[in-house]
Amino acid sequence: MINFSFSLPTKVVFGKDVQQNVGSEVKAYGGSKVLLHYGGSSAQKSGLLDQVCQSLKKEGIGYVELGGVVPNPRLGLVYQGIDLCKKENVDFILAIGGGSVIDSAKAIALAIANDCDPWDLFDRLVDAKDCLPIGVILTLAASGSETSKSSIITNEDGWMKRGYANNLMRPKFALMNPELTYSLPMKQTIYGIIDIMMHTMERYFTPVKNVDLIDAMSEGLLKTVIKSGKVVVEDPENYDARAELMWAGSLSHNDLLETGRIGDYAVHQLEHELGGMFDVDHAAGLSAIWASWARYVYKADTGRFAQYAVNVWNCDMNFQNPEKTALEGIAKTEEFYASLGAPISLKALLEEKGIQDITEAQMREMAQKSTYGNKRKIGNFVVLSEDDIVNIYKAAWER
């Protein structure tokens, strides 16, 4: 176990109807003028936005609205949000949605409090010293951004997708009602399940040894997500399964499951480039790459992959040949993703976007972008070079 620092200041309020007290929560954190930040029209149609406005009005809190956040949230809308907040003297950002909305809200809140160009944070040119308070009403169990310290934004100028992390941007509160996820399109539910699993697995596949407690907790989380995921696919209004997924989403990405270890994150980096270049769904991109990454790197620690196979997928341990067990765990993961209808090859991923081919030059470009030309370290379980990344993209294409 390695040294770590950890805290989880976000107040999670979890359960039925919790969104109805949003006004008093905003007030408790000093909000007097709120930006309501959201995505498409579902928050309006479902009546959620009306509920929020009523609750804010009841507390005498003013608000302005900015919808239109899309998956792979755009820097352009972040700039719009900053302008609107400055013009309207907004002092609290309320994200109503899933990870994209929350990430966009974080970028706005950071840029205003630090009076900087938000992209300078994501491009590592400046570091944040402060952040406007953020609250969340979560409508999607997936990203874990509701209690996390990170945000990922896509810059349309060059289609670069970059993450920034800082404890300052952890939301003040997250109101989490599993019922709000009942009406999600099934595809979003499925991609949420994969996203939660991948956040856990990025941390699980670590080069650090002797991390039993968090291993066991991560394995328990993964098993629960697999079990609950199967339930909600059949029965989308199953409260208990939706609740398991929602809480698992937060716990998978708030650093609890990274305490005492370092995560890998190579698959996320490779996906970020796919997201930037082809605007693919985040979780679909992860699903399309993961098994190819795993088969490329598992020999660095066959034992860990065998442990994953046995403890998460209930595979029998092949004591004579642990490698077979390791590979079985990878195959089981891929089969599960496929059973949910997610792409498990780059070809299938891009076909969904109407793209028939990808050139090696494009793969190389993504590899170069992600490594900043071999200057940035990609991966910790195995450190990947540009060539490694191209090889993984190729393997993922050819599956």
Residues near a second copy, by CB under 8 A: 1-16, 18, 209-210, 212-213, 215-217, 219-221, 223-224, 227-228, 239-240, 243-244, 247-248, 251, 256, 259-260
* Least distance in angstroms from the C-beta of 311 to a second copy: 9
Residue 210 — left, alpha, or beta (φ > 0 → left; ψ -120 to 50 → alpha)?
Answer: left
* Least distance in angstroms from the C-beta of 51 to a second copy: 17
Query: Of 159 and 247, which CB lies nearer to a second copy in the complex structure?
Result: 247
Query: Of 172 and 268, which CB lies nearer to a second copy in the complex structure?
Result: 172
Residue 17 CB neighbours (<10 A): 10
Query: Of 86 and 209, which CB lies nearer to a second copy in the complex structure?
Result: 209
Tokens representing 164? Answer: 């920034």
End-to-end CA distance of the chain: 36
* Least distance in angstroms from the C-beta of 394 to a second copy: 37
* Least distance in angstroms from the C-beta of 173 to a second copy: 9
As a whole number of angstroms, the distance between CA 25 and CA 140 comes to 20
Tokens representing 199? Answer: 């956040």
Is 5 exposed, middle or buried, given 0-12, 13-18 or 19+ CB atoms closer than 10 A? exposed
* Least distance in angstroms from the C-beta of 334 to a second copy: 23
Query: Of 16 and 86, which CB lies nearer to a second copy in the complex structure?
Result: 16
* Least distance in angstroms from the C-beta of 142 to a second copy: 16
Is 316 exposed, middle or buried, given 0-12, 13-18 or 19+ CB atoms closer than 10 A? exposed
Query: Of 221 and 284, which CB lies nearer to a second copy in the complex structure?
Result: 221
Strands 150-155 and 160-165: antiparallel
Tokens representing 346? Answer: 């780059």
DSSP annotation string for 277-318:
HH---HHHHHHHHHHHHHHHHGGGGHHHHHHHHHHHH-PPP-
* Least distance in angstroms from the C-beta of 226 to a second copy: 11
* Least distance in angstroms from the C-beta of 240 to a second copy: 4
As a whole number of angstroms, the distance between CA 385 and CA 10 comes to 37
Query: Of 85 and 214, which CB lies nearer to a second copy in the complex structure?
Result: 214
Query: Of 256 and 331, which CB lies nearer to a second copy in the complex structure?
Result: 256
* Least distance in angstroms from the C-beta of 16 to a second copy: 6
As a whole number of angstroms, the distance between CA 259 and CA 36 comes to 33
User: Does residue 157 sit in helix, strand or coil?
Assistant: coil
Helix axes 212-234, 186-204, angle to 10 degrees: 170
Query: Of 251 and 366, which CB lies nearer to a second copy in the complex structure?
Result: 251
Query: Of 159 and 239, which CB lies nearer to a second copy in the complex structure?
Result: 239
Taking the CA atoms of 187, 242, 250 and 46 in sequence, report the sign of the dihedral they define: positive
Residue tagged 């890998």 (tokens): 264
